Amino acid sequence: MKPEPAYQVLRQRLRDEIAAGAYPDGVRLPTESELVAEHGLSRQTVRRAFQDLVAEGVVYRVPGRGTYANRGYLRQLGSIEDLMSLSEDTTMEVLQGLSRRVDVTAASRLRLDHDVVYTVVFRRLHDRRAGAKRPGESDRRAGAKRPGESDRRAGAKRPGESGRRAGAQRPGEMNGVPFVVTTVHLPESVARLVSDSAELADNAVGTNTVIGVLEPHLDQPIAEAAQSITVAPADELVAAALGCPPEHPMLRVDRLYSDTTGTPVELSVSHFLPEQYTYRVTLRRSS
Protein backbone atom coordinates (compact mmCIF):
# COMPACT_ATOMS: atom_id res chain seq x y z
CA MET A 1 0.00 0.00 0.00
CA LYS A 2 1.54 3.17 1.25
CA PRO A 3 4.51 2.52 3.47
CA GLU A 4 4.89 5.68 5.48
CA PRO A 5 8.54 6.69 5.60
CA ALA A 6 10.21 5.72 8.82
CA TYR A 7 11.20 9.27 9.72
CA GLN A 8 7.60 10.41 9.30
CA VAL A 9 6.37 7.68 11.61
CA LEU A 10 8.91 8.61 14.23
CA ARG A 11 8.14 12.29 13.83
CA GLN A 12 4.46 11.71 14.39
CA ARG A 13 5.15 9.48 17.36
CA LEU A 14 7.31 12.09 19.04
CA ARG A 15 4.79 14.79 18.25
CA ASP A 16 2.07 12.75 19.90
CA GLU A 17 4.14 12.06 22.99
CA ILE A 18 4.96 15.73 23.35
CA ALA A 19 1.32 16.70 22.94
CA ALA A 20 0.47 14.13 25.61
CA GLY A 21 2.78 15.92 27.99
CA ALA A 22 5.41 13.23 28.17
CA TYR A 23 8.20 15.81 28.17
CA PRO A 24 7.44 18.74 30.48
CA ASP A 25 9.58 21.71 31.09
CA GLY A 26 13.15 20.61 31.64
CA VAL A 27 12.83 17.01 30.60
CA ARG A 28 15.14 15.84 27.89
CA LEU A 29 13.74 13.88 24.99
CA PRO A 30 15.34 10.55 24.11
CA THR A 31 18.75 11.00 22.50
CA GLU A 32 19.37 9.99 18.94
CA SER A 33 21.26 6.91 20.05
CA GLU A 34 18.44 5.84 22.32
CA LEU A 35 15.91 6.12 19.53
CA VAL A 36 18.21 4.24 17.20
CA ALA A 37 18.43 1.42 19.69
CA GLU A 38 14.74 1.46 20.48
CA HIS A 39 13.35 1.50 16.96
CA GLY A 40 16.12 -0.19 15.07
CA LEU A 41 16.62 2.78 12.79
CA SER A 42 19.77 4.44 11.59
CA ARG A 43 20.90 7.63 13.17
CA GLN A 44 20.30 9.56 9.94
CA THR A 45 16.67 8.58 9.95
CA VAL A 46 16.25 9.75 13.52
CA ARG A 47 18.02 12.98 12.67
CA ARG A 48 15.68 13.63 9.78
CA ALA A 49 12.68 13.31 12.09
CA PHE A 50 14.23 15.75 14.55
CA GLN A 51 15.12 18.22 11.81
CA ASP A 52 11.52 18.32 10.72
CA LEU A 53 10.34 18.84 14.27
CA VAL A 54 12.79 21.71 14.70
CA ALA A 55 11.54 23.30 11.47
CA GLU A 56 8.03 22.87 12.78
CA GLY A 57 8.94 24.62 16.00
CA VAL A 58 7.97 21.69 18.19
CA VAL A 59 11.39 21.10 19.73
CA TYR A 60 14.74 22.80 20.08
CA ARG A 61 18.12 21.16 20.37
CA VAL A 62 21.27 22.04 22.23
CA PRO A 63 24.55 20.41 21.24
CA GLY A 64 25.95 18.42 24.09
CA ARG A 65 22.82 18.73 26.15
CA GLY A 66 19.90 17.22 24.36
CA THR A 67 16.56 17.83 22.72
CA TYR A 68 13.69 19.57 24.51
CA ALA A 69 10.05 20.24 23.73
CA ASN A 70 9.07 23.82 23.16
CA ARG A 71 6.73 24.81 25.90
CA GLY A 72 3.59 26.66 24.90
CA TYR A 73 3.78 25.62 21.32
CA LEU A 74 0.94 27.77 20.13
CA ARG A 75 2.65 30.80 18.59
CA GLN A 76 0.01 30.82 15.94
CA LEU A 77 -3.20 32.57 16.79
CA GLY A 78 -4.40 32.21 13.27
CA SER A 79 -5.10 28.53 13.53
CA ILE A 80 -7.15 26.04 11.63
CA GLU A 81 -9.85 26.41 14.22
CA ASP A 82 -10.14 30.03 13.15
CA LEU A 83 -10.73 28.96 9.58
CA MET A 84 -13.51 26.65 10.64
CA SER A 85 -15.17 29.25 12.81
CA LEU A 86 -15.85 31.21 9.67
CA SER A 87 -19.08 29.30 9.48
CA GLU A 88 -20.38 30.87 12.63
CA ASP A 89 -21.38 34.15 11.12
CA THR A 90 -21.42 33.58 7.40
CA THR A 91 -23.65 31.72 5.00
CA MET A 92 -22.51 29.42 2.27
CA GLU A 93 -24.35 29.20 -1.04
CA VAL A 94 -23.33 26.42 -3.39
CA LEU A 95 -23.05 27.67 -6.96
CA GLN A 96 -21.89 24.44 -8.55
CA GLY A 97 -22.41 21.21 -6.67
CA LEU A 98 -19.74 18.62 -6.16
CA SER A 99 -18.91 17.08 -9.51
CA ARG A 100 -16.16 15.29 -11.32
CA ARG A 101 -13.74 17.37 -13.38
CA VAL A 102 -10.45 17.14 -15.17
CA ASP A 103 -8.07 19.77 -13.89
CA VAL A 104 -4.35 19.24 -14.26
CA THR A 105 -3.32 22.12 -12.07
CA ALA A 106 -5.57 21.25 -9.17
CA ALA A 107 -4.77 17.56 -9.45
CA SER A 108 -1.04 18.05 -9.36
CA ARG A 109 -1.27 20.43 -6.44
CA LEU A 110 -3.15 17.70 -4.60
CA ARG A 111 -0.28 15.39 -5.52
CA LEU A 112 -2.46 13.08 -7.54
CA ASP A 113 -1.01 10.91 -10.22
CA HIS A 114 -3.94 11.52 -12.55
CA ASP A 115 -5.98 14.54 -13.63
CA VAL A 116 -9.36 13.86 -12.06
CA VAL A 117 -10.61 15.95 -9.17
CA TYR A 118 -14.00 16.65 -7.64
CA THR A 119 -14.93 20.27 -7.47
CA VAL A 120 -17.52 22.37 -5.69
CA VAL A 121 -17.93 26.12 -6.08
CA PHE A 122 -19.70 28.34 -3.60
CA ARG A 123 -19.88 31.87 -2.36
CA ARG A 124 -20.06 33.08 1.18
CA LEU A 125 -22.15 35.94 2.55
CA HIS A 126 -21.94 37.99 5.69
CA ASP A 127 -24.81 37.19 7.93
CA ARG A 128 -27.24 39.91 8.74
CA ARG A 129 -28.44 38.59 12.04
CA ALA A 130 -28.63 40.89 14.98
CA GLY A 131 -26.10 40.05 17.61
CA ALA A 132 -23.79 38.46 15.14
CA LYS A 133 -20.17 39.14 15.58
CA ARG A 134 -18.62 42.00 13.74
CA PRO A 135 -17.75 40.74 10.31
CA GLY A 136 -14.66 42.83 10.08
CA GLU A 137 -14.27 46.54 10.07
CA SER A 138 -13.41 47.96 6.73
CA ASP A 139 -10.37 50.05 6.48
CA ARG A 140 -11.75 53.30 5.23
CA ARG A 141 -9.26 55.52 3.59
CA ALA A 142 -9.39 58.03 0.79
CA GLY A 143 -8.87 56.76 -2.69
CA ALA A 144 -10.41 53.37 -2.12
CA LYS A 145 -13.08 53.09 -4.68
CA ARG A 146 -15.87 50.65 -4.46
CA PRO A 147 -16.51 48.19 -7.24
CA GLY A 148 -19.54 48.61 -9.44
CA GLU A 149 -22.59 48.16 -7.35
CA SER A 150 -25.01 48.85 -10.13
CA ASP A 151 -26.29 45.35 -10.53
CA ARG A 152 -25.86 43.98 -7.09
CA ARG A 153 -25.99 40.24 -6.88
CA ALA A 154 -26.00 38.86 -10.33
CA GLY A 155 -29.05 36.79 -9.71
CA ALA A 156 -29.10 35.71 -13.30
CA LYS A 157 -26.47 33.16 -12.54
CA ARG A 158 -28.75 31.06 -10.39
CA PRO A 159 -32.29 31.41 -11.56
CA GLY A 160 -35.20 29.95 -9.70
CA GLU A 161 -33.32 28.92 -6.67
CA SER A 162 -35.36 30.17 -3.78
CA GLY A 163 -37.84 27.81 -2.25
CA ARG A 164 -36.91 24.59 -0.58
CA ARG A 165 -33.99 24.30 1.68
CA ALA A 166 -36.02 25.84 4.43
CA GLY A 167 -33.21 26.03 6.88
CA ALA A 168 -32.83 29.30 8.68
CA GLN A 169 -33.17 31.56 5.70
CA ARG A 170 -35.75 34.24 5.38
CA PRO A 171 -36.97 34.41 1.80
CA GLY A 172 -37.68 37.77 0.29
CA GLU A 173 -34.93 39.47 2.20
CA MET A 174 -31.45 40.26 1.24
CA ASN A 175 -29.79 37.74 3.47
CA GLY A 176 -26.33 39.15 3.35
CA VAL A 177 -23.55 40.61 1.32
CA PRO A 178 -21.49 38.17 -0.71
CA PHE A 179 -17.79 38.68 -0.15
CA VAL A 180 -16.00 35.60 -1.42
CA VAL A 181 -16.17 32.89 -4.05
CA THR A 182 -14.39 29.66 -3.28
CA THR A 183 -13.53 26.73 -5.50
CA VAL A 184 -12.76 23.56 -3.59
CA HIS A 185 -10.99 20.59 -5.18
CA LEU A 186 -11.01 17.15 -3.59
CA PRO A 187 -9.28 13.91 -4.56
CA GLU A 188 -11.68 11.20 -5.57
CA SER A 189 -11.00 9.14 -2.46
CA VAL A 190 -12.06 12.07 -0.30
CA ALA A 191 -14.94 13.15 -2.50
CA ARG A 192 -16.50 9.71 -2.17
CA LEU A 193 -16.93 10.25 1.54
CA VAL A 194 -19.14 13.28 1.07
CA SER A 195 -20.71 12.66 -2.31
CA ASP A 196 -24.08 12.06 -0.66
CA SER A 197 -23.93 15.06 1.62
CA ALA A 198 -26.69 17.53 0.88
CA GLU A 199 -24.48 20.36 2.11
CA LEU A 200 -22.39 20.25 -1.02
CA ALA A 201 -25.15 19.66 -3.54
CA ASP A 202 -26.23 22.16 -6.14
CA ASN A 203 -27.92 25.26 -4.70
CA ALA A 204 -27.51 24.13 -1.13
CA VAL A 205 -27.46 26.84 1.49
CA GLY A 206 -26.01 26.46 4.94
CA THR A 207 -23.68 27.71 7.60
CA ASN A 208 -20.78 25.36 7.43
CA THR A 209 -17.38 24.85 5.89
CA VAL A 210 -16.26 22.16 3.51
CA ILE A 211 -13.59 21.20 5.96
CA GLY A 212 -16.23 20.90 8.66
CA VAL A 213 -18.36 18.64 6.51
CA LEU A 214 -15.36 16.62 5.51
CA GLU A 215 -13.50 16.00 8.69
CA PRO A 216 -15.87 13.65 10.49
CA HIS A 217 -15.52 11.25 7.58
CA LEU A 218 -11.76 11.21 7.47
CA ASP A 219 -9.47 8.60 8.97
CA GLN A 220 -6.90 11.16 9.94
CA PRO A 221 -7.80 14.63 11.20
CA ILE A 222 -6.71 17.74 9.38
CA ALA A 223 -3.44 18.90 10.90
CA GLU A 224 -2.13 21.62 8.69
CA ALA A 225 -3.17 24.20 6.14
CA ALA A 226 -0.56 25.85 3.94
CA GLN A 227 -1.79 29.17 2.69
CA SER A 228 -0.52 31.52 0.05
CA ILE A 229 -2.02 34.93 -0.36
CA THR A 230 -1.70 37.18 -3.37
CA VAL A 231 -3.65 39.45 -5.70
CA ALA A 232 -5.56 38.22 -8.73
CA PRO A 233 -8.16 39.78 -11.03
CA ALA A 234 -11.76 38.59 -10.87
CA ASP A 235 -12.83 36.26 -13.65
CA GLU A 236 -16.36 36.07 -15.07
CA LEU A 237 -17.63 33.60 -12.54
CA VAL A 238 -16.31 35.54 -9.58
CA ALA A 239 -17.51 38.87 -10.90
CA ALA A 240 -21.00 37.56 -11.53
CA ALA A 241 -21.30 35.91 -8.14
CA LEU A 242 -20.06 38.91 -6.18
CA GLY A 243 -21.40 41.73 -8.33
CA CYS A 244 -18.10 43.37 -9.07
CA PRO A 245 -16.62 44.25 -12.45
CA PRO A 246 -14.54 41.62 -14.23
CA GLU A 247 -10.80 42.12 -13.76
CA HIS A 248 -11.47 43.74 -10.41
CA PRO A 249 -8.43 43.14 -8.16
CA MET A 250 -9.24 40.47 -5.62
CA LEU A 251 -7.47 39.01 -2.61
CA ARG A 252 -6.68 35.47 -3.65
CA VAL A 253 -6.11 32.91 -0.89
CA ASP A 254 -5.04 29.36 -1.70
CA ARG A 255 -5.22 26.77 1.03
CA LEU A 256 -3.90 23.26 0.91
CA TYR A 257 -5.21 21.18 3.80
CA SER A 258 -3.27 18.10 4.82
CA ASP A 259 -3.91 15.41 7.37
CA THR A 260 -1.53 14.19 10.04
CA THR A 261 0.32 11.97 7.59
CA GLY A 262 1.00 14.91 5.30
CA THR A 263 -1.43 13.71 2.67
CA PRO A 264 -3.25 16.56 0.89
CA VAL A 265 -6.97 16.37 1.49
CA GLU A 266 -8.45 19.55 0.13
CA LEU A 267 -7.34 22.42 -2.07
CA SER A 268 -9.38 25.60 -1.92
CA VAL A 269 -8.93 28.71 -4.02
CA SER A 270 -10.79 31.75 -2.75
CA HIS A 271 -11.29 35.19 -4.27
CA PHE A 272 -12.23 37.76 -1.64
CA LEU A 273 -13.64 41.21 -2.31
CA PRO A 274 -10.96 43.37 -0.71
CA GLU A 275 -13.51 46.08 0.03
CA GLN A 276 -15.36 43.72 2.32
CA TYR A 277 -12.74 41.41 3.64
CA THR A 278 -9.36 41.73 5.27
CA TYR A 279 -7.27 38.74 6.15
CA ARG A 280 -6.07 38.85 9.74
CA VAL A 281 -3.45 36.89 11.61
CA THR A 282 -1.65 37.49 14.84
CA LEU A 283 1.92 36.32 15.08
CA ARG A 284 3.50 35.53 18.40
CA ARG A 285 6.99 35.07 19.54
CA SER A 286 7.85 31.41 19.91
CA SER A 287 10.11 31.69 22.92
Partner DNA sequence: CGTTATTTGTGCGTATGTATT
Partner DNA sequence: AAATACATACGCACAAATAAC
Q: Which residues bind DNA (CB under 7 A)?
A: 2-3, 5-8, 28-29, 31-33, 36, 40-45, 47-48, 50, 61-67, 113, 138-139, 142, 144, 154, 156
Helix (H, G, I), strand (E, B) or coil at 15: helix
Nearer to its own copies, 34 or 56 (CB): 56
Element (H, E) at 106: helix 104-109
Report what 212 binds from its own copies, DNA, none; CB cut-off 5-8 Å by kind: none
CB 200, CB 213: distance < 8 Å:
yes
Smallest separation, CB 147 to its own copies (Å): 4
Smallest separation, CB 33 to its own copies (Å): 20
Smallest separation, CB 39 to DNA (Å): 8
| Gap between the Cα atoms of 241 and 127, Å rounded | 16
Amino acid residing at 191: A
Report what 113 binds from DNA, its own copies, none; CB cut-off 5-8 Å by kind: DNA
Nearer to DNA, 2 or 285 (CB): 2
| Gap between the Cα atoms of 278 and 1, Å rounded | 43
Report what 66 binds from its own copies, DNA, none; CB cut-off 5-8 Å by kind: DNA
Q: Which residues of 158-175 are buried (b: 16+ CB within 10 A; e: fewer)?
A: beeeeeebeeebeeeeeb
Pairing of strands 176-186, 264-272: antiparallel
CB 84, CB 46: distance < 8 Å:
no
Nearer to DNA, 149 or 202 (CB): 149
Nearer to its own copies, 130 or 283 (CB): 283
Nearer to its own copies, 20 or 130 (CB): 20
| Gap between the Cα atoms of 278 and 216, Å rounded | 29
Smallest separation, CB 130 to its own copies (Å): 24
> What's phi and psi for 109, nearest 5 deg?
-70, -25
Cross-strand partners of 205: 93
| Gap between the Cα atoms of 265 and 187, Å rounded | 7
Smallest separation, CB 97 to DNA (Å): 29
136: exposed, middle or buried (Cβ count in 10 Å: 0-12, 13-18, 19+): middle
Report what 40 binds from DNA, its own copies, none; CB cut-off 5-8 Å by kind: DNA
Report what 31 binds from DNA, its own copies, none; CB cut-off 5-8 Å by kind: DNA
Nearer to its own copies, 54 or 218 (CB): 54
Q: What is residue 87's DSSP assignment?
A: G
Smallest separation, CB 16 to its own copies (Å): 12
Smallest separation, CB 262 to DNA (Å): 9
CB 258, CB 159: distance < 8 Å:
no
Report what 244 binds from DNA, its own copies, none; CB cut-off 5-8 Å by kind: none
Report what 32 binds from DNA, its own copies, none; CB cut-off 5-8 Å by kind: DNA
Nearer to its own copies, 79 or 162 (CB): 79
